[in-house]
Amino acid sequence: MSFNLLRLVRRTPSSAPVARERLQILLAHERGARGQPDLLMSLREEILAVVSRHMTIDPDKVQVRMDRGKKVSTLEVDIEVPNGFSGSVLAAS
């Protein structure tokens, strides 16, 4: 809300500070990950292995996404499960 008001007051919002902040967040993460194996790839493989022990899943239908924020990052794992298993999974959760 306050951000929108600010935009109204300032006729031409400058985009350079946004660019600067986005770069600083991104590069802080990328520098940390440099030289290490791809985190998402290994997460994906290990999660896939664990879930496969209990049900048959299609490896192509596993999505692992990470959204990086300044303070909090979220990890989203999306696995498509064949219909035959849906009942037992629901019961377990």
Residues near another protein (CB under 8 A) are 12, 14-17, 19-20, 22-24, 26-27, 30-31, 34-35
Nearest distance from C-beta of residue 19 to another protein, angstroms: 5
Nearest-angstrom CA–CA distance, 5 and 7: 5
Nearer to another protein, 31 or 70 (CB): 31
Q: What are the residue ranges of helices labelled H in the chain? A: 2-9, 16-33, 39-54, 86-92
Q: What are phi and psi of 34, to 5 degrees?
A: -60, 135
Q: Which of 26/66 has CB closer to another protein?
A: 26
Report the residue number, 27 or 66, with the smaller CB distance to another protein.
27
